[in-house]
Amino acid sequence: MQTFMKHALGMAVLGTLAGALAPAALASSHREAPFVTQMPKVDGADFYMFRSYETGRAGFVTLIADYVPLQDAYGGPNYFAMDPNALYEIHIDNNGDAKEDLTFQFRFTNTNKDTKLTIGGKSVSIPLVVNGGAIAGANAPGANVRETYSINVVRGDRRTGTKAAVTNTAGATSFDKPLDNIGNKSIPDYAAYAAAHVYSVNIPGCATPARVFVGQRKDPFVVNLGETFDLVNIKAPAVEFAANAERAAKDDLAQKNVTSIEMEVASSCLTAANSTDPVIGGWTTASVRQARVLNPTPNSGTPSKEGGAWTQVSRLGAPLVNEVVIGLKDKDTFNASKPSGDGQFADYVTNPTLPALIEILYGSAGAKAPTNFPRNDLVAAFLTGVKGLNQPATVTASEMLRLNTSTPAVAMGAQNRLGVIGGDNAGFPNGRRPGDDVVDIALRVVMGKLCTINLGCPPADAPAGALRFTDGAYIDDSFFNASFPYLKTPIAGSPQSAATTTAARSAP
């Protein structure tokens, strides 16, 4: 009975608990810092790194960096092209020194084909990204714009290291990005159209070909945003319905899309050469030029002139760090920083404020903050990796997503959405899969879940460590596909019927 009451109490608190978080807290990294809200095209939304669980791909690691969050499917006429003046990067540290050893750089080019119609004897440019014909393949005649990208791999420092071009099997260095999912009339079979943009590529220095996809996807994150931010306008579930708390809330991203940069790379290409350490660290960044001069007489090709050194404005490794760990005054600083400089943020991890905020709001219901300082359990989760799980042989404390590439992948359908704390060592924080419920995991970890297993602190230091904190928005591996690029087909801008939106989660 006592165990049941503790469980019920924890569940009854859960539905309202998310209100303790700051306004962007539960959106992984959607608009998480003041400055990046001004530049949505370079706003990193989510970062995933996991052993590929597609059948026959056991020797590969999948990297996914999502950008341009909160896309409305109907957002025409220009939709959501990437920024051609930005540099998008995925970094890998494979020796534990908090510095990138391998960087994949993505640059985009947008071409206006300037399709014209003859109107009253005059040739006039059309206003749309499609010109009247249905689109089925890459760079289709019916597309009025073409978005392409190139990939470079840099070994060593991202700016001074050795750079080489990634090519397709024919040696080409340019790849087509599909148009966003405008609607069923413009692109009748979007799933097949997007699949035509999955490329087999050769990475210089890697013996095994990789796969790449860049394009719009259904936003993979789930969270109850609106109710949470309206002064916790969420009704706590009654005790008798407590078992449904983890599925009780609305997913406010259910009708949103995102742009994904995805790579599937052989594990042997990511780990350090001549090393037996299987642990890698990863994070994604976006950078823009230091200076921008607006063109007072702009056209489609030259609205501005960019110059100066690359300046990092977005950074994302482990989810929710800049949202619920870093203080408001330092959020922009974190986005501009490198893992090697993370000592400046140490107090936010060793002496976190989020558990104290939760106790202030819900302490009377049993949500007591952990009492161990410094929070060595959080240092392991956020800064070093967990010893015996995903801590590298040599480690420099720094924030990034860490993955033990020797941990076998778990097949779709057998994954536990709570990852390691749910008994599934192939999940978060040992990397991150799309179906890992990182909001629930993070809430439980900051409130002392690791103390209950004597990791960094004893159970007595975490009075609420066993409570099942949740934001109420449910996710597991069934929300995704079983093969690369894993994330679902984006929601179509048209038709927006009730049947279409209801079926969004079950689309291929």
333 pLDDT above the threshold of 80? yes
Residue 284: strand, helix, or coil: strand
Instruction: Name the token pair of 307.
Output: 């110059």
Angle at 80 between CA 77 and CA 83, to 5 degrees: 125
29 pLDDT above the threshold of 70? no
More confident: 322 or 122? 122
- Band the pLDDT of 253: cuts 50, 70, 90: confident
Q: CA of 247: how far to CAs of 99, 251, 276, 437, 441, in Å? A: 39, 10, 42, 12, 15
Q: Which of 74-88, 115-129, 236-250, 404-418 has the lowest mean pLDDT?
A: 236-250
- Tell me the pLDDT tens digit for each residue of 36-63: 778 899 999 999 999 999 999 999 999 9
The stretch 469-485 carries a mean pLDDT of 92
100 pLDDT above the threshold of 90? yes
238 pLDDT above the threshold of 80? no
Question: Could you give the CA distance from residue 245 to residue 261 in angstroms, rounded to a whole number?
Answer: 33
242 pLDDT above the threshold of 80? no
5 pLDDT above the threshold of 50? no
* Helices and strands (H, E) in the chain, number of each type: 11, 16
Average pLDDT, the chain: 87
309 pLDDT above the threshold of 80? yes
Residues β-bridged to residue 173 = none
Question: Could you give the CA distance from residue 165 to residue 186 in angstroms, rounded to a whole number?
Answer: 33
244 pLDDT above the threshold of 80? no
Question: Could you give the CA distance from residue 198 to residue 62 in angstroms, rounded to a whole number?
Answer: 13
More confident: 28 or 96? 96
Question: Could you give the CA distance from residue 469 to residue 441 in angstroms, rounded to a whole number?
Answer: 8
**Residue 126 domain-assigned?**
yes
Question: Could you give the CA distance from residue 177 to residue 111 in angstroms, rounded to a whole number?
Answer: 12
3 pLDDT above the threshold of 90? no
pTM metric for this prediction: 0.90
**Residue 338 domain-assigned?**
yes
pLDDT of the residue at 11: 34
pLDDT of the residue at 299: 78
**Residue 346 domain-assigned?**
yes
| CA-closest candidate to residue 103, choices 82, 84, 88 | 88
Q: How many domains does the chain have?
A: 1
pLDDT of the residue at 274: 85
Q: Sort 155 into a burial class: Cβ within 10 Å, 0-12 / 13-18 / 19+.
A: middle
| Eight-state DSSP code of residue 128 | S
pLDDT of the residue at 227: 56
Residue 66: strand, helix, or coil: strand
Residue 90: strand, helix, or coil: strand
pLDDT of the residue at 418: 95
pLDDT of the residue at 451: 94
224 pLDDT above the threshold of 90? no
| Eight-state DSSP code of residue 274 | T
Distance between start and end Cα atoms, the chain: 44
Cβ atoms of 390 and 429 closer than 8 Å: yes
Instruction: Name the token pair of 181.
Output: 């999912």
Domain of residue 172: give its range. Answer: 36-461
**Residue 418 domain-assigned?**
yes
- Residue 423 — φ and ψ, nearest 5°? 90, 10
Instruction: Name the token pair of 109.
Output: 């080019």
- Band the pLDDT of 243: cuts 50, 70, 90: low
The stretch 277-304 carries a mean pLDDT of 92
- Tell me the pLDDT tens digit for each residue of 259-278: 999 999 999 999 998 889 99
Q: Which of 37-46, 280-289, 352-361 has the lowest mean pLDDT?
A: 352-361
234 pLDDT above the threshold of 50? no
- Band the pLDDT of 10: cuts 50, 70, 90: very low
93 pLDDT above the threshold of 60? yes
pLDDT of the residue at 30: 66
Instruction: Name the token pair of 119.
Output: 């109107």
- Tell me the pLDDT tens digit for each residue of 379-404: 999 899 999 999 999 999 999 999 99
More confident: 197 or 14? 197
